[in-house]
Amino acid sequence: MGWDIMSTDTYPCECGKGTYTEVREMDDWNRIRVHRTINCPICKLKAEEIENKLIEERKRLDTLAREIKSYFKENYIEQWFAYFSAAKSKKAVWEYSRDLRVNKGSLSTFYNRKYTSMEEYISELATFDNMKNIMEALDIHDNNLTRKVEEAMELYQKEHSRAIAEWHRKH
């Protein structure tokens, strides 16, 4: 199975001083992919700058995610475990996390994952994208954590919006 070139088109670029070329390919399963080559040095440089900025934003988001997890673990993990202390079963732990809107899967997915302990599962819920709900549930008012979570969520939302826009551009 290979990719066949369906069309190759050249268009004026954004600055109007050059061109870009799009090559559309299709495979045996009717999947389509598009490759874009920027032929204009001005637009190519601008695209590289944008890509470098995206790479830096992704690195910053990864750094923030690690910092948030580490900071939360150092300062609030016992309080987080205590939140679940009334849960008497695995299902109850999952229900608590569902009610908080911090779990990402169904009950069957939860049961299919093989956690070594409920503490492991509870600890894994403490991610930057869940942190706002967790902070609210635990009544945490920590400016340092809040700033990091807000920055991470802003970067995450930008990435998500770009991904949606890219999907719509391709379809």
pLDDT computed for residue 62 by the predictor: 97
Q: What is the DSSP string of 84-147?
A: TTT--SHHHHHHHHHHTT---S-HHHHHHS--S-HHHHHHHT--TTTHHHHHHHHT---HHHHH
pLDDT band of 8, cuts 50, 70, 90: very high
Cα separation, 92 vs 40, in Å, equals 59
126-149 per-position pLDDT tens digit: 999 999 999 999 999 999 999 999
**Residue 44 tokens, joined:** 């190519």
Torsion over CA: 60, 63, 69, 70 (sign):
negative
Residue 113: pLDDT band with limits 50, 70, 90: confident
Give, for 23, the enclosing helix (H) or strand (E).
strand 19-26
Q: With a cut of 80, say whether residue 1 has pLDDT above it.
A: no
pLDDT of residue 115: 86
Distance from C-alpha of 105 to C-alpha of 115, rounded to nearest angstrom: 14
Task: Give Rg (Cα) of the chain.
Answer: 23
Count of CB atoms situated within 10 Å of the CB of 54? 13
pLDDT tens-digit series, residues 29-85: 999 999 999 999 999 999 999 999 999 999 999 999 999 999 999 999 999 999 999
In the 8-state DSSP scheme, what is residue 37?
E
Report pLDDT for 171.
67
Output the CA–CA distances (angstroms, integers) from residue 95 to 30, 130, 135, in the order listed.
Answer: 42, 15, 18
Q: Quote the percentage of the chain above a pLDDT of 70.
A: 98
